[in-house]
Amino acid sequence: MKILVTGGAGYIGSVFTEHLCDHGHNVLVVDNLSEGHQAAVDPRAQLEVVDLNETARLGDLMKAHGSEAVVHFAANALVGESMKNPAKYYGNNVTGGLSLLNAMVTAGVPKIVFSSTCATYGIPDSLPITESTIQRPVNPYGHSKLTFEGMLRWYGEIHGIEPVIFRYFNAAGASPRFGEHHRVETHLIPNILFAAQGRQGEIKIFGDDYDTPDGTAIRDYIHVLDLASAHRIAVETSITGQFNLGTGCGHSVKEVIEACRSVTGREIITETCPRRAGDPPRLVASIDKARSVLGWEPRFTDIAETIKTAWNWHEANPKGYADIIEQLTPDQPSSSKAA
């Protein structure tokens, strides 16, 4: 199939692009490279550096490519940042998304698979979170994603675009080739691994006074390769609807740190800090719907195995994609991409 992937130079998008190419699909990546890296785009895919707000250019690219589906990863996705700069989140995630939808209408692309988030649920009344749990986001990031979910409903009804909405829990891990490299890293697992590598001092624990067994916040960490397989099922079938993607199992910040200690065998020093604004105490998915409707099953259910794949990638690429760019020879300029 011909699939357009927005944000295909970012963390999850790069692993998904590789996965699609492995399965013989023809992938056009559009990314403005504000967060993504050119070296993160599988050379079998075509990369176009374009911003989501460039509606006409996006529509032209879709038509020229003959895109049969859009998989929409491109977004800002940091809870903490959204609490300081909501305009960035509404601008990129809502206005940028609207532009993408309008380009799809113009080009006649019939299907979208959207990266939504468990942050749309806010602080759930009970766990695990199902797809019918009330969505009451507690930060602008979650609200921006929920807003786009609402837009998808109406673009579906009015323009016939078929949406699949994936509400991710916490993406983690790496493929052997593509991994997590944010220019400013705020996520738990990479920061712990950086501490293990000696690239940063202690790991800050944001709050140990939550109402959880060890007082630290609980999240459901899903491997990026499992996210990738769910998205491929979504594009290859005619299924629509909303699905949680997690493992169904939660781990506290302290448990994740302990797992990183055992995977890396390194000393990891911690410092307890105040809670981070906008953080819910516990987010754990029910994945029954994804299992039964998509026929999907996460392969990585042991947090240590997931962390191990991330550790392997960070050990192989201690400067992330900066290493890969440095390794390119003059015959392989970083600007070259095969179509």
Shortest CA distance to 231 belongs to which of 52, 39, 82, 73? 73
Q: Which three-class secondary structure state does DSSP give residue 268?
A: coil
φ/ψ of residue 132, rounded to 5: -100, 5
Q: What is the signed CA dihedral for 251, 255, 260, 265, rounded to 10 degrees? A: -150
Q: Which three-class secondary structure state does DSSP give residue 48?
A: strand
Distance CA 294, CA 289 (A): 8
Q: Which of 112, 188, 230, 324 binds ligand UDP (CB under 6 A)?
A: 188
Q: Which of 217, 234, 263, 287 binds ligand UDP (CB under 6 A)?
A: 217
Alpha carbon of 122 to those of 38, 105, 114, 153: distances in Å? 33, 31, 19, 20
Q: Which of 79, 109, 235, 284 binds ligand UDP (CB under 6 A)?
A: 79
Shortest CA distance to 281 belongs to which of 78, 172, 89, 138? 138
28 residue type, one letter: L
Pick the closer one to ligand UDP by CB: 213 or 295: 213
Pick the closer one to ligand UDP by CB: 177 or 187: 187
Pick the closer one to ligand UDP by CB: 217 or 227: 217
Distance CA 47, CA 51 (A): 12
Continuous segment of H or E residues that includes residue 9: none
Q: Residue 245 interacts with ligand UDP (CB under 6 A)?
A: no
Pick the closer one to ligand UDP by CB: 41 or 188: 188
CB of 33 to ligand UDP, least distance (A): 22
Pick the closer one to ligand UDP by CB: 103 or 310: 310
Q: Residue 219 interacts with ligand UDP (CB under 6 A)?
A: yes
Q: Residue 234 interacts with ligand UDP (CB under 6 A)?
A: no
Q: Of the ranges 12-20, 24-32, 186-194, 320-328, which one interacts with ligand UDP (CB under 6 A)?
A: 186-194
Please list every residue from 273 through 302 that binds ligand UDP, using CB under 6 A: 276, 279
Q: Which of 160, 176, 186, 319 binds ligand UDP (CB under 6 A)?
A: 186
Q: Residue 123 interacts with ligand UDP (CB under 6 A)?
A: no
CB of 23 to ligand UDP, least distance (A): 28
Q: Residue 34 interacts with ligand UDP (CB under 6 A)?
A: no
Q: Residue 212 interacts with ligand UDP (CB under 6 A)?
A: no
**Whether residue 90 lies in the annotated active site:** no
CB of 212 to ligand UDP, least distance (A): 10
CB of 250 to ligand UDP, least distance (A): 11
Distance CA 145, CA 117 (A): 7
Which residue number is nearest to ligand UDP in terms of Cβ? 217
Do the strands 251-252 and 170-172 form a parallel or antiparallel pair, or are they unpaired? Answer: unpaired
Total binding residues toward ligand UDP, as defined by CB under 6 A: 15
**66 φ/ψ sector (left φ>0, alpha ψ -120 to 50, else beta):** left
Give the list of residues 6+ apart from residue 276 with CB closer than 8 angstroms, or none.
79, 80, 206, 207
Active-site residue, selected from the candidate residues 11, 89, 141, 155: 141
Q: Residue 167 interacts with ligand UDP (CB under 6 A)?
A: no
Pick the closer one to ligand UDP by CB: 35 or 42: 35
Alpha carbon of 240 to those of 106, 136, 157: distances in Å? 21, 23, 13
Which residues contact ligand UDP by CB under 6 A? 79, 170, 186-188, 191, 203-206, 217, 219, 253, 276, 279
Residue numbers annotated as active site? 141
